[in-house]
Amino acid sequence: MVDTLLDLRYENLIVLDISGEALERAKERLGAAANRVQWVVSNITEYKPTDPFELWHDWAAFHFLTTTEETNSYLSLVEQSILSGGYLSIATFSDNGPTSCSGLPVHRYSMDELTNQFSRKFKKTPLYRRRPLNPVLHFAKIYFLPISEDIRSSINTLLVKNVTLVSSSF
């Protein structure tokens, strides 16, 4: 994802991961382009952004939050950190996905449960889909719009200034 956003000339990109090693691998892969990204090593539930975001993209991190406290912390962070009119994209293990990943337990989400988690501030767009990533892993991926946003808006046509990418791998 970060590669594509850089290729499209997006700016103010922040990539967060709990693993410094994963971030180092991503930096090496990007070469000089990595200098155009702010790299943050942090547990997402402890992250304190300095600026709000127009787009928050979480690829495979949310399902590692398995306690109510962790989930509520994440939800609060997302709700407070995304600008009014901003967008949220979440990809997490679906209800028929694995029960663990990288030796850690995960929370699996039905589309309804995932939608309900973020329903205080966001609504699901018609762009959501549920698809198998491969024969073993299944992801639920949903794009959310702010509640006040016209449902006809498309996440694919966004021009954003501040983007955070939260990932468990790159």
Domain count, the chain: 1
Name the token pair of 127. Answer: 């762009």
Range of the structural domain that residue 33 is part of? 2-167
Q: Tokens standing for 48?
A: 């304190």
CA dihedral 150, 153, 158, 162 (to 10 degrees): 30
**What is the pLDDT at residue 92?**
86
Write the DSSP assignment of the chain as a string of letters: -HHHHHHTT--SEEEEES-HHHHHHHHHHHGGGGGGEEEEE--GGG---SS-EEEEEEES-GGG--SHHHHHHHHHHHHHHEEEEEEEEEEEEBTTS-SEETTEE---B-HHHHHHHTTTTEEE-TT-EEEESSSS-EEEEEEEEETTS-TT--GGG---S-EEEEES--
- Tens digit of pLDDT for each residue in 15-46? 999 999 999 999 999 999 999 999 999 999 99
Location of structure tokens 């983007």:
163
pLDDT tens, residue order, the chain (170 aa): 788 888 888 888 999 999 999 999 999 999 999 999 999 999 999 999 988 888 888 888 899 999 999 999 999 999 999 988 888 888 888 888 889 988 999 999 888 898 899 988 888 876 544 444 444 455 666 566 555 444 333 333 333 444 555 554 44
Q: DSSP states of 49-96 as a string?
A: -SS-EEEEEEES-GGG--SHHHHHHHHHHHHHHEEEEEEEEEEEEBTT
Here the CATH number for the domain that contains residue 147 is 3.40.50.150
Distance CA 13, CA 36 (A): 7
- Specify the residue for token string 């990595």: 34
Its pTM surpasses 0.75: yes
Residue type, 8: L
